[in-house]
Amino acid sequence: MSSQPAGLPKLGDHLARLHQRPAEPPAPAEEATRPADVSEVAEPAARTPRRPRLVVDPEVGERTPKVLPGPRLEDAPSMTPVVTAVPVDSSQSDGATVKTSFSIPGRCLERLRQLAHDRHMSQADTLMYELARLEAEAVPEEPMETLVGKFTVSAPARAHETITILPMRLSAKNLAALEELRERLHLPSRSALVAKALTTP
């Protein structure tokens, strides 16, 4: 089906009609002084004709929008880069933020919601604020002994603690800062860091 709105003719036809019309002097700036051209009103041909709806070229109808390449300034080495791309290493990135999630105790999630509500901030902003506070106050823990890979021997077990998933979008910059803080505080995971930030009074 054609998406062409009714009453919108092809521009080429419009131009052809204009060229067929006898040359008219352009309208003077003062509209009120121009005598009304009665023929334009009375003459049906002067109105925009109803054109038969076009048969859509199936190629056009089914064509998906072309995926445009990103800025390709590197194609022209002599040019000064105009935009510095922020690398985002995630297939779920929208170009500016990265979708991530944290597994944290339910009470941490409740606290995050409460703090965000009280401060009129988003949960992501609240979390980063709490992390900044933790960064300023927290003392790095002793590095945990590791068995193999990232499994630790001394990870504290919390009995009867409900773990909830907190999905969140963070900017690549904030995510990098979060990772840096996790390493600095010798915490085993980002979730542990988030939980610590949200439980530190």
Structure-block tokens of residue 116:
């965000």
Does residue 131 touch other proteins according to CB under 8 A? Answer: yes
Smallest separation (angstroms) from other proteins to the CB of 175: 12
Instruction: Give the integer Cα–Cα distance in Å for 184 and 178.
Output: 10
Does residue 143 touch other proteins according to CB under 8 A? Answer: no
Q: Are 185 and 142 in contact (CB under 8 A)?
A: no
Does residue 97 touch other proteins according to CB under 8 A? Answer: yes
Of 7-15, 106-114, 148-156, 190-198, the window that binds other proteins (rule: CB under 8 A) is: 7-15
Of 1-9, 35-43, 140-148, 184-192, the window that binds other proteins (rule: CB under 8 A) is: 1-9
Return contacts of 132-136, CB within 8 angstroms, 24+ apart. 133/197, 133/200, 134/181, 134/185, 134/193, 134/196, 134/197, 134/200, 135/181, 135/184
Does residue 70 touch other proteins according to CB under 8 A? Answer: yes
In this structure, the dihedral spanned by the alpha carbons of residues 14, 16, 17 and 23, taken in order and rounded to 10 degrees, is: 120
Site residues, other proteins (CB under 8 A): 2-5, 8-12, 14-15, 18-19, 23, 25-30, 33, 54, 56, 60-61, 63-66, 68-73, 76, 78-80, 82-86, 95-97, 125, 128-129, 131-133, 136, 171, 173-174, 177
